[in-house]
Amino acid sequence: MVEISTLFSLAGKTALITGGGRGLGKAMALHLARCGADVWISGRNADTLETACSEAISNGLNLHPLVMDVSKLDTIRTAFSRIASETRTLDILVNNAGDETLRACDDVDEALWNRLLDTNLKGPFFVAQQAARLMPDGGSIINLASLTSAAGVAKAVPYSASKSGILGLTRSLAVEWAPRGIRINALAPGYFHTDMTDTFFRNDAWREKMLAGIPLARFGLPDDLAGPLQFLCSTASAYITGQVLYVDGGTLAAL
């Protein structure tokens, strides 16, 4: 019988969290570091990454900064060249980097569509493609989905399209890479207060409306993602691939 501590252990694992310099990405990166993983965090802004690394050091942890814009393939390749030269293998990828803008369909232009789809869907695919080349048998990729992956939201069509695409990406990669021993799953957070969602949370009417639809009667906290993330990263989920786990306080169940 396998010990529980062994099932959930991430000691000796190497992980990359895209968009890991702030918000939920930073919280997830710090949690994996606490679990013993050697963690890289990527983002477009070097100063943001350095600030996150300094915060980690003040908490007795260590993160490695990696400048990378997931919407641009050339920067992805450059970043992975560095990872390959310094660590050689990558056990865990969390495709967290994302962008969101609400806009009525009639006002959506090509620039907005391309920015959201490039960041939220094209980027995760090409990052996963590079990561898989460094992954041994037992590697785990977690894509960040959303409530909009399963439910329609007005004025969020490009974002919803990208996050619905994450489900197809997750399932298809799971099937194709299963023979290589690489598992692909998705985490779908509900309503969490982050830098990206701050505009919504400052709207009292919006807060009241959203809170009324959450059976657990509260918004998500960064720690609410820690357990599900660790589960999907560890051998505790060794027979799970191609799945999406909604961490939403019961929001979808109540629809």
- If one counts every other C-beta atom within 10 angstroms of the C-beta of residue 138, the result is 13
Band (149; pLDDT cuts 50, 70, 90): very high
Give the tens place of pLDDT for each residue, 94-139.
999 999 999 999 999 999 999 999 999 999 999 999 999 999 999 9
pTM of the model: 0.97
Higher pLDDT, 244 or 5: 244
- Rounded Cα distance, 146 and 225, in Å: 13
Active site residues: 159
Q: Which superfamily is assigned to 4-250 in CATH? A: NAD(P)-binding Rossmann-like Domain (3.40.50.720)
Averaged pLDDT for residues 13-29: 97
Q: Which helix (H) or strand (E) holds 43?
A: strand 38-43
pLDDT tens figures, 175-197: 999 999 999 999 999 999 988 88
Mean pLDDT of 10-21: 97
Residue 196 is predicted with a pLDDT of 83
Region 136-154: mean pLDDT is 96
pLDDT of residue 202: 94
Using one digit for the tens of pLDDT, what is the confidence trace for 207-249? 999 999 999 999 999 999 999 999 999 999 999 999 999 999 9
**Domain map of the chain by residue range?**
4-250
Cβ neighbors of 207 (< 8 A, separation 6 or more) are: 200, 201
CA distance 212 to 254: 10
Among 140, 173, 182, residue whose Cα is nearest residue 13 = 140
- Does 51 score more than 90 pLDDT? yes
